[in-house]
């Protein structure tokens, strides 16, 4: 069996939970566990959201992804470190809003497959993707996908890309 831990990471209010809710709403019942969400009164994710996803057999291995989101607020550093432990792949959810550009820079990235999702592309004043990328991934090392998580645009594409990178790494034995 292959069990992979995928974590969505990024600034607060960048819609990490919206991604997970969209995936949860579209995946058939038999392929997913229950989504667990621990939120504060103002609907912001406190500890994490969690969704186990069974994707069936890949190259003869029963494959399951455990999808987590990590709170973006910096003062939850301890829980963020705990959830990032043992991670196999990261989706960095960047916010396209001009006033959130600096928040996108608050991150630490480990040596695991990473995909950058530039979210909220539907905002009338959305920053150019290249400007957001320059803050999140100045070296241009990671795949970048555009999204509008609340409408499901780019959500499964992002999940497929990070899954592909993680499974390629598993197959390569590194």
pLDDT tens per residue across span 110-144:
678 999 999 999 999 999 999 999 999 999 999 99
Torsion, Cα 122 126 129 135, to 10 degrees, reads: -130
Counting DSSP H helices and E strands in the chain, the numbers are: 4, 7
Kindly state the average pLDDT of the residues 148-153. 96
Provide the pLDDT for residue 170.
80
Provide the pLDDT for residue 137.
92
Least trusted range by pLDDT, from 12-16, 92-96, 132-136: 12-16
Per-residue pLDDT at 174 exceeds 60:
no
> What does the alpha-carbon distance between residue 97 and residue 149 come to, in Å, rounded to a whole number?
14
Per-residue pLDDT at 46 exceeds 60:
no
Burial of residue 131 (number of CB atoms within 10 Å: 0-12, 13-18, 19+): middle
Instruction: Give the predicted TM-score (pTM) of the model.
Output: 0.86
CB 165 within 8 Å of CB 111? no
Q: Mean pLDDT for the chain? A: 85
Place 153 in a pLDDT band, splitting at 50, 70 and 90: very high
Of the chain, the percentage scoring pLDDT greater than 70 comes to 87
């Amino acid at each position: 069996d292959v069990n992979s831990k995928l974590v969505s990471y990024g600034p607060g209010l960048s819609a990490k939970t919206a991604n997970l809710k969209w995936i949860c709403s579209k995946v058939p019942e038999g392929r997913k566990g229950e989504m667990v969400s621990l939120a504060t009164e103002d609907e912001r994710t406190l500890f994490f959201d969690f969704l186990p996803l069974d994707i069936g057999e890949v190259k003869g291995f029963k494959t399951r992804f455990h999808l987590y989101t990590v709170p973006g607020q910096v003062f939850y550093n301890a829980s963020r470190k705990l959830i990032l432990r043992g991670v196999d792949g990261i989706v960095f959810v960047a916010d396209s809003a001009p006033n959130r550009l600096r928040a996108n820079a608050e991150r630490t990235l480990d040596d695991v497959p990473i995909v950058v999702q530039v979210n909220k592309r539907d905002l009338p004043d959305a920053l150019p993707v290249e400007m957001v990328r320059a803050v999140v991934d100045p070296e241009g090392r990671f795949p970048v996908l555009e999204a509008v998580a609340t409408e499901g645009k780019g959500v499964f594409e992002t999940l497929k890309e990070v899954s592909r990178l993680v499974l390629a790494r598993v197959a390569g034995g590194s």
